[in-house]
Structure 1
Amino acid sequence: MRAFSEKLNLYTGYLVVILVAVLLTVTTIEVFFRNVLNSSIHWSEELSRFTLVWTTFIGASVVYKKGELIALNAFTKLNEKKRKIIFYITQVITIFFTILLIYFSIHATLSPSTMNQFSPGLNISMAIPYLSIPLGLFIMLIHEIAFLLDPKELFDKEGEYE
């Protein structure tokens, strides 16, 4: 599971780089059009917004895998056994919460009100921007399960949780 999580994180990181490049390119072109050519590309703001949403939710899974999300390290003074118990409890709670979020985000994404609503600029179903939420959460769930099954990558040589 750890190898799959690592490979998935690698490809997800590439996707985030591509999304940021698209966001930067579209925004730069739109600024040029507005300030130099005095016109606007009607779909550029929408594409930038949707790309930012995808970057946020997919990027969150990459950051989670690297262990760089904001964390509270209040239990670092406990002995190794107690820290590991707290780690496992936290992972199980996090996995449960992520599964709930995936369920409700899929429900929102596939609802008729979302599926039948189209964006005015790109004329795409609003389910496409919404899809970033369950997809990002699902990737994060894979990383959470990999951490639960093989937590040693989260602990340094002295056994402290990073």
Structure 2
Amino acid sequence: MNTLSGWIESIEKVIAMILIASMTIVIAAAVLFRYLLNAPIFWASEASIFMMAWLTFIGGSLGLKYKSQASVTFLVDRFSDNGKRVFEIVSYVIILIFMALLLYLSYQWVFSSSHQKSTSMRIPMWIPYLSVPVGLTFAFIHLLNNLVNLFKKKQQGGEPL
């Protein structure tokens, strides 16, 4: 599971770098063309919105991989190490169930919108919409890996939480 999660992490990092560079170039070109050449690029805002959607879901997945999401821990901090571990397991299970439901619904949504085209660029809308299920699938794998590692750490006598 660690191998799959690590492989996906590598792909996500490359995709994120490409998207950030592409967005920078497209937005800079759009500003240049609009204000210096007085010839706006009609598809630039739509392309940057689609790239931002992809970047959001890929970045969110990476955030779950690194456990860098914001959390309020004043209640959890009062538990013993064993209680913290149980609380973490329960929270992972709840999140994974919710994520599985979102995955199912997001794939249905993408397949139902296969006939739509974007306004400016005229690309099929399943391409930008696919950012949701792809990002959620990657996040699901990272969360599942974190849960498996949580069980492995306790079985191997790892350090307390």
TM norm structure 1: 0.90
Give the fraction of aligned pairs with identical amino acids, expressed as a percent.
31
Tell me which amino acid in the other structure corresponds to 1:57: F
Q: Which residue of 2 aligns with 1:103?
A: 104
Of stretches 73-82 and 51-60 in structure 1, the one that deviates more from structure 2 is: 73-82
Q: Which residue of 2 aligns with 1:117?
A: 116
Q: Which residue of 1 aligns with 2:137?
A: 138
The 1-side partners of 2:29 and 2:78 are apart by: 52
Tell me which amino acid in the other structure corresponds to 1:30: A
Give CA-to-partner distance per residue, 1:54-81, whole Å, 9 cap, x none: 0001110011111111122230221111
Tell me which amino acid in the other structure corresponds to 1:109: V
Give CA-to-partner distance per residue, 1:87-141, whole Å, 9 cap, x none: 1111110100000000011111111xx2111012111111111100000000000
Q: Which residue of 1 aligns with 2:34?
A: 34
Q: Which runs of 4+ in 1 moved over 3 A?
A: none
**Structure 1 unaligned residues grouped into runs of 5+:** none
TM-superposed CA distance for 1:159, in Å, is 2.6
Partner-residue secondary structure (3-state), 1:121: coil
The 2-side partners of 1:80 and 1:137 are apart by: 30
Partner-residue secondary structure (3-state), 2:76: coil
The 1-side partners of 2:114 and 2:11 are apart by: 28
TM-superposed CA distance for 1:7, in Å, is 2.2
Tell me which amino acid in the other structure corresponds to 1:129: P
Tell me which amino acid in the other structure corresponds to 1:20: I
Partner-residue secondary structure (3-state), 2:118: coil
TM-superposed CA distance for 1:158, in Å, is 5.8
Tell me which amino acid in the other structure corresponds to 2:70: I
Tell me which amino acid in the other structure corresponds to 1:63: G
Partner-residue secondary structure (3-state), 1:68: coil
TM-superposed CA distance for 1:42, in Å, is 1.4
**Structure 2 unaligned residues grouped into runs of 5+:** none
Q: Which residue of 2 aligns with 1:18?
A: 18
In the comparison of the two structures, how many residue pairs are matched? Answer: 154
The 2-side partners of 1:9 and 1:76 are apart by: 30
TM-superposed CA distance for 1:50, in Å, is 0.3
Tell me which amino acid in the other structure corresponds to 1:142: I
The 2-side partners of 1:94 and 1:88 are apart by: 10
Partner-residue secondary structure (3-state), 1:116: coil
TM-superposed CA distance for 1:3, in Å, is 2.2
